Each structure stands twice: as C-alpha cells, then as structure tokens.
Amino acid sequence: MKTSSCSRRQFLQHASGLTFSAAAFPTLISASALGRGEAVAPSNRIVVGCIGTGPQGRNDMGGFLYQKDAQVVAVCDVKTDQLEIARQAVNRRYQNQDCATYGDFLEVVSRDDIDAFLIATPDHWHVLVALAAVRAGKDVYLEKPMGLSLEEDWALREAVHEHKRVFQFGTQQRSSHLFRLACELVRNGCIGTLKHINVWAPGSAPGGPTDIVPVPSNLNYDMWLGPAPFKPYMEDLATDVSDKKTWWFISTYALGFVAGWGIHPLDIAAWGADLFTGPISLEGRGSFRAYGACDTATVWDINMRFHSGVTMKFVGVPNGSNRGLATCDTWPQEKEWRERYRRITSHGTAFEGTDGWVHVDRDGINLQPQDLIDQDEKAFKVKLIRSGNHVRNFLDSVKSRVETICPIDEAVRSDTLCHISESAMRLDRRVVWDPKRERYVDDEGANLRLRARKMRAPWHLV
C-alpha cells in the first residue's frame, strides 16, 4: 500500500528527533530490551574503551552499551566524579563490577585487549588522544570538531591511513534519514542545478567569569590542560553544567561554536554538494565580545564562492539567552529565512537550486516544490551510504574494515570549512583556499594559521 504524501511528510517531520535521542536511550531501557540474553561469541565481540566521560561522552557511550556485539571494558577521565558515574553506568549495563577506570589515556590505549576507542574529551585534546589510540593500533570514534589547527587534522589523517585504522567522526546527522534524503535530492538534481547554500548554527556564548578560584577537588587540572599553556583555574572553566561551561568558547581550548556546532550543518553541506573541486574564495566578519572569559565569535557572517560557481553563506546565530546574558548581536537573515523555508531553528542547511530548494535540520525537512517528498529514493542514481545509527555504522566498519559514513578524509574536508571560516573572520579580509594543495593562495599570513600551536611539554604532535 502506497504511503500518502501527507503521512510521509508527518513521519519525516519527526524522524530526526528519534535519531538524536538514541544516544541517551540505552541507559534508560530495560535489560531485556537490550537483548542481554542473546549471547555473542567473544571472537565476534568488539571490545571498547571510552576516553572522556562527561555528559557528551556518556551519551555517546550509551550508544555502545546498546549494541550487543560491543562491550565497554574501560573508562578514562581526568574528573573522578565523572569517571565514577561512567563506571557505574557500565557495570549496571553488564550487571558486574568489571569496568576498569583510568585517569591517564596513555595507560588505557596500551591495553592489548581493547579494539576501539570512543574519544569525547575537550577539543584541545581530541587529536592527541586519537593519535595515541591510532598509533596503538586501535580504531577510533572521535567526537567533533577535530583539531585546533589544520596541521593537527592532517597529522591524524596521515596516522589513520598509515596504521589502516577505521575512523568515525561524530557528525551524527549523517546517520539520520532526513539529512541523507536532503543530500540525495540535491545530488540527484531534484532541485535542478545547485546555485547556493545557506548554513547557520549557534554562535559562541559571550561573557563567562574570569575569577581565579581553587581547582575543584575532583579535577586533575594539569592533565586537563595537557598541551594547553598553563593558566590559573577560572570559575566554571571545566564545569559539567552546559549553561555555565566556558572552555567551549575560549580560544585556548577550542575554536568556539564556529567549529563546535558549525561542523554539523557544514558537514551536511559538504555531503550534499561537491565543494572541493578547486579554489574556494571566502570573506566575512565575526563579532568577538571584549568582556568575560569567552573570546570566540558570538556571531559571524561568512560568504564563500566555490570553484563550481556555487556560493554559500555561513551564519552564526546569537547564543547568550541560556545564560541570561544580554547581547547586542543580531541575526539579519532570520525573518527572511523563516518566511522562505516556512520554519527554522537555530541551526540548519538549505540547498537552493534552479528548480527548488531543500532545507533540513534536526526538527525535519522542508521542500520546494513540496511534492519532492514523493521522490522514489530507490530510483536515485546517486546513493549515499545508508546508516540508521552512527555507532552501529562504526562497529560494522570495525568488523568489515570498510569506510564509515564519515571517514577521516571526509571528516578533514568538513572540518576544513570550519577552520577557513574562522581564519577569514579573524583576518577580516578575503582569502582563497586551495583544497588540493591545502594552502591559502599567495597569502603567507593566512598560511601561518594552519600550523599546530606550540604545546606544553611533554606533549607534542609528532
């Protein structure tokens, strides 16, 4: 029986939410629902370690606990309270007391019995931890974004290829039917010739306390800092409360949400269009608030022109209300895009073609003409990888040794869009990126920004 257009639209309007609630789901459902009674031979079981067990890391870990052919045996964190919460969650899942705990990732990656690692540390640790795991012969599921510099990204890419490791980037939107459908509609010419892409994401939060306070008793601060320069501990720097945490928005530890959130809709833009065939010209500006601890862009407006002639606007949306902060930042395109796409949220990717458009975010998909929803996906000539679960896709690839839905080369390309956007607004001038040479064209000042930052001893990139 054919599904009606109306019911299909209703289904797709809600499908994305189901996908993104799945990460937390495993810690809440019953043992029987998890299939605990279905034995998996040890030879077919993937043994997993988890490095970084704060709220995001535990959500991701839940996705591994849900898979009957994976077993989490070790957790690692520099915070003793977060480590204990993770340990208890693992032991509850398996009804034993076997989960090992570590405060130093170098100790856990050296274990011969672990096949793969989930890495969900603070951003400034992502590449160094992933490199240690890859060089130890482990497959890696790495939370986004990737490095603080493109040189870090390239080092990880080289190591993944050299050691023939399976890599999955934490751009979970690729494992949603909605986002794949949007990208396939574009790649199959259903909106005609692609002309323009609008991309938007929450900007960094402004402000943040600068008061120097004692290091929390649960935190190994020296290990938390790792390669970052030493600075006295500031209030809320590494809190687990999302509405208060400041390291997300401090350039010493992160690029801010131009990468931390922006990677998601930018990755969908890169998945839906071939953007790297030749030089990319871009320019734009960001707003950097001169108060408080946070110093990454609170909003931005970046314009890109790709070699194909396709243009893209990448916008940061004001993000201060959740902290009760007043902000003079604005979102000039909000009204226009809300009317054009019939609804919008604080994030999204919209592909504009000669014959229509496709707008997608985690709340649903909007199409013009609306009957694009009736396209027979089975008839598409261009088919992207199918995945209904990001963790499941990773585990399947660990077994088969085929590429994941977001392998290292595609992950670096998408992350590059974040880096060159950040550079354009920091430099406040037009730059041209050559994706084949991976350098800015005739711009040594911009090319200096590609280099890895100096790391605090004893940490180093190579």
Q: Which contacts qualify for 337-343: CB closer than 8 Å, 24 or more apart?
A: 337/198, 337/200, 341/366, 342/366
| Residue 376 within any structural domain of the chain | yes
Q: What is the CA radius of gyration of the chain?
A: 22
Q: Does the residue 401 lie in any domain? A: no
| Statement: residue 1 has pLDDT above 70 | no
C-alpha distances (whole Å) from 57 to each of 24, 255, 291 are 10, 19, 30
338 and 209, same structural domain?
yes
123 has pLDDT over 80: yes
For residues 65 and 196, membership in a common domain is answered with no
Mean pLDDT computed over every residue of the chain: 91
Residues 94 and 235 in one domain: no
- 3-state helix/strand/coil string of 280-340: EEEEEEEECCCCCCCCCCCEEEEEEECCCCCEEEEEEECCCHHHCCCCCCCCCCHHHHHHH
Judge whether 99 lies within some domain. Answer: yes
pLDDT above 70 covers a percentage of the chain that reads: 89
pLDDT band at 220 (very low <50, low <70, confident <90, very high): very high
- The answer to whether position 422 is within a domain reads yes
Let me know if residue 392 belongs to a domain.
Answer: no
**CA–CA gap between residue 130 and residue 72 (Å, rounded):** 17
Question: pTM above 0.75?
Answer: yes
Please tell me the predicted confidence (pLDDT) of residue 36: 40
Same-domain pairing of 50 and 181: no
Instruction: Extract the tokens encoding 4.
Output: 């009606």
Give the integer Cα–Cα distance in Å for 242 and 426: 26
Domain count of the chain?
2
Which 3 state secondary structure label does DSSP give 140?
A: strand
Q: Which CATH number characterizes residue 330's domain?
A: 3.30.360.10
User: What is the residue range of 138's domain?
Assistant: 18-173
Model pLDDT for residues 61-104, shown as the tens digit of each residue: 999 998 999 999 999 999 999 999 999 999 999 999 999 999 99
Co-location of 164 and 198 in the same domain: no
**In this structure, are 26 and 156 located in the same domain?**
yes
The whole-angstrom separation of Cα 425 and Cα 431 is 10
272 and 216 fall within a common domain: yes
Would you state the structure tokens that stand for residue 201, as one six-digit string? 């994401």
281 and 139 in a common domain: no
Position 291 scores a pLDDT of 84
Same domain, 46 and 77: yes
Work out the burial of residue 302: count CB atoms within 10 Å of its CB; fewer than 13 is exposed, 13-18 middle, 19 or more buried. Answer: buried
| Domain end among 153, 173, 193 | 173
Please give the Cα distance from 324 to 391 (Å, whole number).
35
Residue ending a domain, among 141, 173, 205, is: 173
pLDDT at 34: 36
For residue 212, what is the DSSP state? Answer: B
pLDDT value at position 23?
Answer: 35
Residues 207 and 348 in one domain: yes
456 found inside a domain: no
The whole-number pLDDT of residue 7 equals 53
